[in-house]
Amino acid sequence: MHEQLLQMFEARPDEFLSGEELSMTLNCSRTAIWKHIERLRQEGYEFEAVSRKGYRLVGKPARLDIPSLLSRLQTKSFGKTIRYFDEVDSTQIVARELVAKGAEEGTLVIAEQQTSGRGRLGRKWHSPKGKGIWMSILLKPRIPLQFTPQLTLLVAVALCRSLRQTTGLQIGIKWPNDLLIEGKKISGILLESSAEDENLQFVVAGIGIGVNLKQEDYPDDELRAKATSLAIAAGREWNREDILCQFLQELESLYTLYHEQGFGPIKLLWEALSVSLQRSIRLQTPKGVSEGFAVGLHDSGAITVRLPDGSLTNWYSGDIQFATPDA
Ligand code: BTN
């Protein structure tokens, strides 16, 4: 029914189709037609509705142009194999299935929409159709298992640098790996790894970027208050292929640098882009809220904090809050 409705509009572009005609042809009520149109709107289709004339299809969801991306991409392996989907549950799940079938390092899984996008700490990740970049990249790093958190920071640096270059927006990194614009989140990173006998087998780096979401694309006010997109921040839409191309190139070059020179250079870049350091921060722990002053990044990926009694400690995971607003 959904498909048939869409076919009717696509067969007669630029024409208004009346509710009466649609409901007669599809043998259903006008309310049912209205509900399907609303669902199509949520999927990114745009309709003009005029009383006594009906509905006209005026826009379709954006689709990534993968051949154009591949023709511009100047990497050795990152993104050279792309598995592109209209809809998946989660690109993380698809990437893991591909590893099991022998996929190579740098393989990219990308989808226009995720129905079960996942975030850190077991949260859901809202991934509406054609509005963002929802992707997972497969890494097979030659590093000891305990260094895996460094990779998360590396991905955050690559993403922050490439988004700054492409958009010119003042984007910062909130420990450990959220990207913020004016205090709101535009991107999140989720690393999932697999190890055997203390040896790292592979890492699936999942990245979500809110690119062209509008305020109405967020499901509720709670998310609208915390999240934003590059389009909302800049007041214009962005070409997703440009963003992807820049990111993959930046990621590959930092990843190469990391294998050649270790974490030192990445740590310096992370600290320079961070909005979490040299300020008072709070961390929610199972025992309550801890507060301290963030002084630096530890090689383990932890944030080093001076506690009120003057002692230094490392916080390894969780979500921090800023005790004072942005400077
Ligand atoms: C976070 O900030 O909590 C991390 C969010 C990571 C979201 C991305 S979107 C692509 C990939 N697939 C998923 O299901 N999650 C990651």
Q: Are residues 13 and 90 in the same domain?
A: no
DSSP secondary structure letter of residue 17: B
Which backbone phi and psi does 51 adopt, to 5 degrees? -65, 140
- What is the reported pLDDT for 327? 46
Measured CA to CA in angstroms, residue 130 lies from 45, 134, 238 at distances of: 10, 9, 12
Q: Are residues 224 and 310 in the same domain?
A: no
For 216-236, write each residue's pLDDT tens digit.
Answer: 999 999 999 999 999 999 999
For 195-221, write each residue's pLDDT tens digit.
Answer: 988 889 999 999 999 999 999 999 999
- Indicate which CATH number applies to the domain containing 35: 1.10.10.10
Q: Are residues 292 and 213 in the same domain?
A: no
Q: Are residues 104 and 90 in the same domain?
A: yes
Q: Are residues 142 and 16 in the same domain?
A: no
Q: Are 110 and 132 in contact (CB under 8 A)?
A: no
Residue 44 structural domain:
2-59
For 49-94, write each residue's pLDDT tens digit.
Answer: 999 999 999 988 889 999 999 999 999 999 999 999 999 999 999 9
Taking 80 as the threshold, does the pLDDT of residue 325 lie above it?
no
Q: Are 187 and 161 in contact (CB under 8 A)?
A: no
Query: What percent of the chain stands above pLDDT 70?
Result: 99
Mean pLDDT score, 244-261: 98
Q: Name 261's Cβ contacts closer than 8 Å, sequence gap at least 6.
A: none
- Indicate which CATH number applies to the domain containing 75: 3.30.930.10
DSSP secondary structure letter of residue 215: G
What is the tally of structural domains in the chain?
Answer: 3
pTM of the model: 0.87
Cα–Cα distance measured from residue 80 to residue 108, given in angstroms and rounded to the nearest whole number: 8
Query: What percent of the chain stands above pLDDT 90?
Result: 87
DSSP secondary structure letter of residue 32: H
Going by CA atoms, what residue is nearest to atom 16 of ligand 1? 206
In-domain check, residue 96: yes
Q: Are residues 49 and 136 in the same domain?
A: no
Which of the four pLDDT bands, split at 50, 70 and 90, describes residue 139? Answer: very high
- What is the reported pLDDT for 9? 94
Cα–Cα distance measured from residue 10 to residue 14, given in angstroms and rounded to the nearest whole number: 9
Q: Are residues 268 and 283 in the same domain?
A: no
Q: Are residues 31 and 101 in the same domain?
A: no
Which backbone phi and psi does 118 adopt, to 5 degrees? -120, 145
Q: Are residues 51 and 133 in the same domain?
A: no
In-domain check, residue 14: yes
* pLDDT: which is higher, 136 or 196: 136
Dist. CA 41 → ligand 1 center (Å): 24
Taking 70 as the threshold, does the pLDDT of residue 30 lie above it?
yes
Neighbours of 12 (CB within 10 A): 12
- What is the reported pLDDT for 326? 57
DSSP secondary structure letter of residue 324: S
In-domain check, residue 154: yes
Q: Are residues 203 and 232 in the same domain?
A: yes
Q: Which of 37, 59, 81 is the last residue of a domain?
A: 59
Q: Are 198 and 145 in contact (CB under 8 A)?
A: yes
In-domain check, residue 327: no
Mean pLDDT score, 39-48: 86
Amino acid (one-letter) located at 14: D
Lowest mean pLDDT among 21-25, 60-64, 145-149, 280-284: 60-64
Q: Are residues 103 and 145 in the same domain?
A: yes
Q: Are residues 44 and 183 in the same domain?
A: no
What residue ranges line ligand 1, CB within 6 angstroms? 90-92, 114, 117-120, 123, 125, 127, 134-136, 178, 188-190, 206-208
Dist. CA 191 → ligand 1 center (Å): 9
